[in-house]
Amino acid sequence: MGRENPAGYPVRESPKAPPIAPKPPSRLAIVRRLYDWVLGWAYTPYALWALIILTLAEASFFPIPPDPLLMALCLGSPVRSFRFAAWATGASVVGGILGYAIGAGAWSLLDTFFFQYVPGVTPEAFEQVQQLYDRYDFWAVFVAGLTPLPYKVFTLSAGVFAINFPIFVLASFLSRGLRFFLIAALIRRFGPPVSRFIDRYFNLLTLIFAVLLIVGFLVVGWVL
């Protein structure tokens, strides 16, 4: 029986609605938080160490590319831009070698974890990459290191499929170095305007650049 109103009639209380459980954050929201977290390191005394560690991790399992942090560091100290690019290149190659080692020596133990929890690492992606390795070998790694393709998929699968290790290291070094030094050179030359432009159109720019570069190599090979 509910409480009574002033007229003496009983008032039935409405049942309380069950609390609504909060929705878990979407994968896009999680990635955005990671992006902001990565960029936040640029404004700390540990910015260079953060760049090194994050670049190394991105080559094997971390989902956020290090380019935004690299751009922020180059903007903060343009005269050190090439130094930042060199550290990023070295760390990325080491991270790629780590990914290769995981794929070659521990994939049977860790494949379930990577497929479930590392964005971009899927059985379907591995199957597609294997086909690329069968046809292009060096160029598959080179394009992955230069463009927005998930580089970690290529480093891990290179170990799984036993890609020639010296070729893998050479392709990683050239592509990651070209990518990071190009960003550093543009920001050192043009400053904040080009940084905003790169950040907005990064995926498209790297794809166009990779296509032009490969076409250039093909033309040179055809002429020679």
Between 9 and 220, name the one with better pLDDT.
9
Predicted pLDDT at 65: 81
- Please list, residue by residue across 18-36, b when 16 or more beta carbons sit within 10 angstroms of its beta carbon and e when fewer do: eeeeeeeeeeeeeeeeeee
Query: 19 lies in a domain?
Result: no
Predicted pLDDT at 92: 95
Between 175 and 22, name the one with better pLDDT.
175
Query: 41 lies in a domain?
Result: no
Contact (CB, 8 A) for 172 and 93? yes
- Tokens 């050479």 label which residue? 170
Which residues form the domain of 91? 47-223
φ/ψ (deg, to 5) at 3: -70, 165
Nearest to 48 by CA among 77, 80, 84: 84
> Over the stretch 28-77, which tens digit does the pLDDT of each residue have?
566 567 667 777 777 788 889 999 999 999 898 887 788 888 888 888 88
Query: 1 lies in a domain?
Result: no
Please report which helix (H) or strand (E) contains residue 21, including its range: none
- Tokens 């432009």 label which residue? 197
Query: 110 lies in a domain?
Result: yes
Contact (CB, 8 A) for 179 and 148? no
Count of structural domains within the chain: 1
* pLDDT at residue 7 is higher than 60: no
Query: 25 lies in a domain?
Result: no
> Over the stretch 172-215, which tens digit does the pLDDT of each residue have?
999 999 989 988 998 888 877 766 766 676 566 556 655 655 55
Query: 211 lies in a domain?
Result: yes
Tell me what the mean pLDDT of segment 147-157 comes to: 84
Query: 124 lies in a domain?
Result: yes
Query: 20 lies in a domain?
Result: no
Half-sphere exposure of residue 191: CA atoms within 13 angstroms, side-chain side: 0
CA distance 208 to 153: 21
* pLDDT at residue 124 is higher than 90: no
